[in-house]
Amino acid sequence: MTKAELIRSIYAAFKDVSLEDGIGLYEADCLDEYRAPTDPVYISWKQRDERESWEKILNLFLNDTNNERVNSSNLFFMDSKGKRFHLPCYLIQDLDEKHKGNNPLITDLTYSLKSLSDLEILDSKQKQTLLDFFDHKLVEFIKDGNEFDFDSYTQAKENFQKYILQKQ
């Protein structure tokens, strides 16, 4: 699968995903700062979370401008709905040449069983898209001779297959 085909697949698999009542990007940052849900800053930032279309926030992930509330640790503070909603952004960001590497999803899937259970919410098409993403990245790492990332992504893929796909 080419990179362009994979990106189209990501768009198709996550087309109608909304955040619903999940934890969004800005709320996750407030949780990372140990802010209470009653804190005015928490309330203000939570209201800024996009809830309907992940495509509207994709540029936050692809933009070189640093956004004070968008960082790689946000994913770790999201619930399953938040992770599902933001997953296409993290995948497309990782496929972007300027933003390669440091994908928090890989860290999450490698070191946290709770994170793996958060992905049980994905439907079969979304799970297949994630597997296609892993396969694409692994081929890329082989071509580049990048053993470190190859090993990390392999472990994340194996954990995903073991804990999520075997439960189907």
Q: Is residue 101 predicted with pLDDT exceeding 90?
A: no
Average pLDDT over residues 100-114: 82
The whole-number pLDDT of residue 111 equals 84
* Domain coverage including residue 155: 3-167
Cα 16 to Cα 20, 30, 80, 87, 130: the distances in Å are 11, 26, 16, 13, 17
The whole-number pLDDT of residue 81 equals 98
The whole-number pLDDT of residue 73 equals 81
The whole-number pLDDT of residue 137 equals 95
Q: How far is CA 10 from the centre of its chain?
A: 12
The whole-number pLDDT of residue 34 equals 94
Pick the closest to residue 86 from 123, 63, 112, 60 (CA basis).
Answer: 60
The more confidently predicted of residues 127 and 70 is: 127
Kindly state the DSSP code that residue 55 receives in the 8-state scheme.
G
Q: Is residue 75 predicted with pLDDT exceeding 70?
A: yes
Average pLDDT over residues 150-160: 94
The whole-number pLDDT of residue 103 equals 86
Q: Is residue 97 predicted with pLDDT exceeding 80?
A: no
Using one digit for the tens of pLDDT, what is the confidence trace for 31-72? 999 999 999 999 999 999 999 999 999 998 888 665 655 667
Using one digit for the tens of pLDDT, what is the confidence trace for 10-37? 999 999 999 999 999 999 999 999 999 9
The whole-number pLDDT of residue 65 equals 61
Kindly state the DSSP code that residue 52 receives in the 8-state scheme.
S
What is the number of domains present in the chain? 1
Write b or e for each residue in 70-103: b if 16 or more Cβ atoms lie within 10 A of its Cβ, otherwise e.
beeebbbbbbbbbbbbbbbbbbbbbbeeebeeeb
